[in-house]
Each structure stands twice: as C-alpha cells, then as structure tokens.
Amino acid sequence: MLMKELESIIRLFKDRFEQQAGRVYEAETLDEAASKLSNILLEQNVRRVAIAGMDEQVRERIRESLTSVGMEIVEPRGGNAHETINSAEAGVTLASFAVADIGAIAEITNDDADRLVSSLPRIHACLLQRQNIIDTFENSAQLIRDALSSSRSCVVSFIGGPSRTGDIELKLVLGVHGPHQVHVIIFG
C-alpha cells in the first residue's frame, strides 16, 4: 500500500475513534509506545495492571516499562482469574487490527481472560501496529473468517471507544460496565 494511502487511513481511524470518545497516540517504535503507555497510565494514577496474552516480545517490553515506573502486574490464573483482573485499574492489550471507517480496534482472543482485560478495568490501553489498520469494515471479512476458522473457539471483538449508555434521559455517560477510557497507541 502506498504510504500516503496508509496515512489517510490512519487519519480516518484517529478522527473517528476520537469522535467516539477514545484517545489515540502515535509512536515510532515499540520502545516509544511502551514508554508512552506507562506515562498515560501514570497520569491516571494506575498502580495495578492486567496484561492480555500477546506476542512475547511485546509483552516483555510492556512489562519492563510498567514495572520500571513502579506498577504492579497482576497475573490472572485459574478459577479466580476474573476477580484478579477486576482488581486491576487498567488493562493492556495488543490489537489484532483496527478498522478506520468504523473507528474501532479489533481483538482476536482464544481465552476469555483476554477479553476481560479490556472489559473489567476502568482504563483500557491498547497497542496497535501501524500496518494493521485497514480501511473499511467490509474489508475485514476475510480477517474475521480466518480468525474464526483458526481455532475451535474464538472471539473477535470490535471496540469503538469507551463503554457508554444514554439510557437515562438520553444523557451520555461513559464507563457503565466497561472502561471509562480507551487509549490506543499506534506504533511501528
């Protein structure tokens, strides 16, 4: 894809995700993204963080960056995993891809603990590789199909910003059951 095209897709993603009350940051490298991440979480006074399953290298880099500023990483295991994740103030995930025209990130998960990392804590922070942003929802069909057919159980989750409701007097409130804030850091 032409550099220019990718840039305009990223622009569109950023505009729409932010219109939907999400926040988007850009970083050149994984290192820069990891330190941005720790800054964002520090600013929100986060002390305990849950990290979803992801590429080992990225996970290590995130872990280093967060522990270096004194944050605790919780490890969800066994029957109590959901309680452990619930005790974290932030959840960190790596997006599988993102879709510009609907302003949403997509997570492909094979364990529901990973879904809870982006569902339960008050803050969700998500890393997203620049090359994984696609233009339209329609064009994500094959990615969805591939994900679903690659394992016996799988969930593809599109997330278009913080949890929201307008159920009382149509007044918009963010963070009903899910995160109040969603931060996306684009890198690479």
Minimum gap (Å) between residue 31 Cβ and another protein: 29
Which is nearer to another protein, 115 or 130 (by Cβ)? 115
CA angle 163, 166, 170 (to 5 degrees): 160
Select the residue interacting with another protein from 32, 63, 132, 175 (CB under 8 A): 175
Select the residue interacting with another protein from 10, 13, 16, 71 (CB under 8 A): 16
Q: Which amino acid is at 32?
A: E
Which is nearer to another protein, 11 or 145 (by Cβ)? 145
Select the residue interacting with another protein from 6, 42, 73, 156 (CB under 8 A): 156
| Tokens coding 58 | 């990225």
Does 101 interact with another protein (rule: CB under 8 A)? Answer: yes
Contact 24, 186 (CB under 8 A): yes
Phi-psi region of 4 (alpha: psi -120 to 50; beta: other; left: phi over 0): alpha
Does 8 interact with another protein (rule: CB under 8 A)? Answer: no
| Coil, strand or helix at 132 | helix
Minimum gap (Å) between residue 73 Cβ and another protein: 15
Select the residue interacting with another protein from 8, 39, 83, 131 (CB under 8 A): 83
Does 176 interact with another protein (rule: CB under 8 A)? Answer: yes
State which of positions 51-80 bind another protein (CB under 8 A). 76-79
Residue 111: phi, psi to the nearest 5?
A: -140, 135
Q: Which helix (H) or strand (E) holds 26?
A: strand 23-26
Minimum gap (Å) between residue 155 Cβ and another protein: 5
How far is it, in rounded angstroms, from Cα 24 to Cα 18? Answer: 7
What is the Cα gyration radius of the chain? 16
How far is it, in rounded angstroms, from Cα 166 to Cα 17? Answer: 19
Which residues of this chain interact with another protein, rule CB under 8 A? 16, 20, 76-79, 81-83, 86, 101-104, 109-113, 115-116, 119-120, 137-138, 140-142, 144-145, 148-149, 152-171, 173, 175-179
